Structure 1
Amino acid sequence: MTLPDPEAQTDKPLTILIGADTYPPHVNGAAQFGYRLAKGMTARGHNVHVLASRADKGKSFSEARPEATVHRLRSHSVPTHPYFRVVFPWEIKKEIALLFDRVQPDVVHIQSHYMIGEHVLYEAVKRGIRVVATNHFMPENLNPFLPFPKWFLDIVGRQSWKDMGKVMGRANVVTTPTPLAAKAMRDHAFLHKVIPLSNGIDSHAYELAPGERIERNPWPTVLFAGRLAEEKNIDVLIDAVAKLPKELNVHLEIVGDGEIRQRLDAQVARLGLGDRVRFLGLAPDAELREAYIRADVFCMPGTAELQSLVTLEAMSASTPVVLANAMALPHLVRDGENGYLFRPNDRDDLSAKLSAIVSLPEAERTAMGKVSHEMVQKHSIKSTLDTFEALYRGADTVPEHG
């Protein structure tokens, strides 16, 4: 690691401003990472501020939360998404400048190149404040919410990559969760110095505590967790479960909510799976943890995952996985050791891979889960926070993370 001047490397607490275009109560990996980053840095004694949009109508406001002081900007709904909010530059630029005057950040960490991230970066650059930029998004993530033909979406995607390069190219350091995402940013946004740095996870939080018992279901259970969105391909998973031999009696639990929930409900009813598919909605962390531990296999059929925190969480709970062979997911599978990859959108292949795991003797399935748990250790949240803290203090390179 290239470190700054040792005399400047002190334990002095930093004032950190995190610019987040999505943040809880939003439900997605980027929002969850922003929350964990704020919580982790506050626990280390830093003064953390988060700037995000309001989740509803109203004026901008600030609130003291356990993880940080959170500043909410006035925002506007969009007709194509159930919860995403947009902010208008002419409404927020002055408020951002005034917030910088109040907070006086030592370092700024933006979580995307879109609205809030972009204008927080511009304000920091203007004031000579160090900027770390992390990208959690692929332009393709937006396609389901843009009601345009594919040829036009391709134009939007190219423009989005160009904008990413223009904005994040002004940061002192650029990171993204995986080597695959870093390569995509180099190839399409022409950002040539991108550090792959895992979002990080506290794997111990998903282990059974000494003496703790969580009753398994009386039937084999497949689990999905995440936003119910087009790119997650949950319909493919439901079809695959329907194709499993009835004598296996496999059940599916779906944790999360989103814009395609009604369509999935209709699919389950049409396939006659009402007694074997349960929608658990937005589950609190404790309930989600129990779902991971209870499951026999975790499945992520999404094809636009930059890292997939929910998959890392399931692996931390010693659960075998079946993942789409797309984007960053192949990095999380040792085929046949902790689970299987399946051909994206191939219902038959997914069904066969799920069947292979739920048909195993319990001891062999447990062994697969142990490999999942071992694999996730390199994604330690402590290592991630250590690295970001070094970047905040002036480091410009770090060892690559998987």
Structure 2
Amino acid sequence: MSDSSSVSADPGSKRPLRILIGADTFAPDVNGAARFAERLAAGLVERGHDVHVVAPAASRKHGTWKEVHEGQELTAHRLLSWRWYPHDWLRFALPWRIKQNSARILDEVKPDVVHFQSHIVVGRGLSIEAAKRGIRIVGTNHFMPENMLEFTLIPKAWQDWAVGLAWKAARRTFGRAESVTTPTRRAADFLEKYTGLHGVHAISCGIDAHKYSPNWEPRTENRIVFVGRVTGEKQIDVLLRAVTLLPAELDVKVDIVGGGDQKRNLEHMAVELGIADRVTFTGYVTDEELRDAYHRASVLAMPSIAELQSIVTMEAMASALPVVAANAMALPHLVHDGENGYLFEPGDPKDLADKLRLVLEATPDDYNAMKAQSLKLIKAHDITRTLDTFESLYRGERVTDPVTESIPVIVPE
């Protein structure tokens, strides 16, 4: 990481900052990185900062205008973008124009700090040009190269080579930042291992827990919910196979909430497995519909093996849901085995089914205890702590990574 002492924000000052957030994916995209960037931007505006976002245009229309996100107005610099057709929604800014566009926007905005959310295109351009201008740079990694392999059309024999190149590119871009962050300690260790960087901060993406509420009404059915992009790395097929292994008397229903390129294939799979009458694919939903889905559910199933944090899991926990998740990447940070749910062996439908049974067949007291633990554990991920920490990084202040210890919660009788 850069050890440059040239900064534009006075560490001793608490004046509002002009902050430029760079993102390769941003609303209306629906994914964890886009949602975090949107929540971060809105939270900073609410605290009185002047926030600008540089991101690919969501359509052919590009330029600079005001946008409202999470009820807060910010300035969006939408870059000319192309649709990446192997993916169901991804649009990307043109790599060969990113340095020129970054230079233009930085000279117009003159930010105190640049905070990029990935190293791929936008972050690369902004970090190069911000470094030239002596602007403080903060970089956050939400990306694992393995997540994009199925959309690159790269032959399997070349994929390890491609992943190696991606990590080298990440090393160059994040190396320009004064501070580098990622959502969990495990993700930080992972990033340090594959890039050779040191001192990566583990800062939770945070969640507006007050937007979600627990449902303490007695269960009247067994309903499993999955929320997220319906893509290969989420391993939703493992969940569908697990459902076929659950006892018929449980009469389990499943909601797959989200859209993606694998939706049609998984619908066909549900038919082939004989569970199509019990599985609902909702497609994309509104925030209100999402909260209703959490309220209807008995348990969240998260079979994904590539989560650097999983905002969905945090939302479910804030809704007092037990969680059964793959024992992979950052999910064990959120799901404490035997407390607020269970961890299962990644890719193993039988183990997933066994762990789902432990939740669905739990006594009412044991089930409510899991719900209470989800609420207790999620309190450590309040978005306020996340915003406080990033504000300190933006001002060049030393920070201690927030401790995500459990905090007591009161359970209704």
Whether the TM-score (by the shorter chain) exceeds 0.5 is yes
Structure 1, 232-241 or 49-58: larger mean CA deviation: 49-58
Alignment of 1:209-288 (within 5 A): 218-288=220-290
1:150 and 1:192 map into 2 onto residues whose CA distance is: 31
What's the counterpart of residue 297 of structure 2?
A: 295
1:181 to 187, 209, 220: 187
Tell whether 2:113 aligns with 1:107. Answer: yes
Deviations 1:347-397 (A, max 9, x none): 111011111111112232111110011011111110000000011011144
Q: Which runs of 5+ in 1 are unaligned?
A: none
CA distance in 1, matches of 2:73, 2:32: 17
Residue in 2 that maps onto 1:395: 397
> Does the 8 A contact of 2:98 with 2:121 survive in 1?
no
Q: Match for residue 357 of structure 1?
A: 359
- CA distance in structure 2 between the aligned counterparts of 1:138 and 1:263, rounded to whole angstroms: 24
**Structure 2 letter corresponding to 1:49:** H
Distance 2:166 2:98 in 1: 21
Give the deviation of 1:400 after TM superposition: 4.8
TM-aligned CA deviation for residue 217 of structure 1: 7.0
Matches of residues 24-43 of structure 1 in structure 2 within 5 Å? 24-43=27-46
For residues 180-228 of structure 1, give each alpha carbon's deviation from its aligned partner in whole angstroms, at most 9, with x where no partner exists. 11111111101112011111112222125xxxx7977742111100000
> What residue identity is the alignment partner of 1:185?
L
Give a deviation string over 1:52-85, Cα, whole Å, max 9, x none: 0012224434333234211110011122111111
Amino acid at match of 1:293: H
Q: What's the Cα RMSD here?
A: 1.8
Contact 1:237 1:301 in 2 (8 A): yes
User: Quick one: which amino acid aligns to residue 271 of structure 2?
Assistant: A
Q: Give distance in 2, aligned partners of 1:159 and 1:95.
A: 24
- Residue 154 of structure 1 pairs with residue 157 of structure 2: no
| TM alignment of 1:3-402, pairs within 5 A | 8-65=11-68, 66-208=72-214, 218-402=220-404
Shift, 1:325, TM fit: 0.7
TM-score (norm 2): 0.91
Count matched residues: 394
For residues 204 and 278 of structure 1, what CA distance do their matches in structure 2 show?
Answer: 28
Change beyond 3 A, Cα 1:224–1:343: same
> Which of 312-321 and 92-101 deviates more?
92-101
Q: What residue identity is the alignment partner of 1:163?
A: A
Displacement of 1:172 after TM fit?
0.7
Q: What letter is aligned with 1:341?
A: L
Instruction: Look up the SS of the partner of 2:106 in the other structure.
Output: helix
Separation of aligned partners in 1, 2:160 and 2:84: 21
> Separation in 1 of the partners of 2:376 and 2:216?
21
Contact 2:392 2:399 in 1 (8 A): no
Q: Tell me, what secondary structure is at the counterpart of 1:201?
A: coil
Quickly say closer, same or farther: Cα 1:104–1:216, change in 2 above 3 A. farther
Between the aligned partners of 1:150 and 1:90, the Cα distance in structure 2 is 27
Q: In structure 2, what is the Cα distance between the partners aligned to 1:34 and 1:163?
A: 21
Query: TM-score, length-normalised on structure 1?
Result: 0.94
Q: How big is the shift at 1:338?
A: 1.0
AA aligned opposite 2:43: G
Bigger Cα displacement from structure 2, 326-335 vs 42-51: 326-335
1:241 and 1:130 map into 2 onto residues whose CA distance is: 50
| Aligned 8 A contact 2:225 2:299 in 1 | yes
Partner amino acid, structure 2, of 1:311: T
Question: Greater shift after overlay, 135-144 or 41-50?
Answer: 135-144
Amino acid at match of 1:223: V
CA gap of 1:129–1:242, structure 2 versus 1, over 3 A, is same
CA contact (8 A) 1:173 1:396 kept: no
What CA distance in whole angstroms lies between the structure 2 residues aligned with 1:7 and 1:14? 10
Q: Aligned with 1:275: secondary structure? A: helix
Cα offset, 1:97, TM superposition: 1.8
User: CA contact under 8 A between 2:137 and 2:177: conserved in structure 1?
Assistant: yes
State the secondary structure of the residue aligned to 1:76. Answer: strand
Report SS of the residue matched to 1:109.
strand
Higher mean alpha-carbon deviation, 382-391 vs 6-15, is at 6-15
Change (3 A) 1:332 1:202: same
Contact 2:55–2:93 (CA under 8 A) maintained in structure 1: no
Percentage identity across paired residues of the two chains: 47
**Structure 2: distance between partners of 1:214 and 1:377:** 18
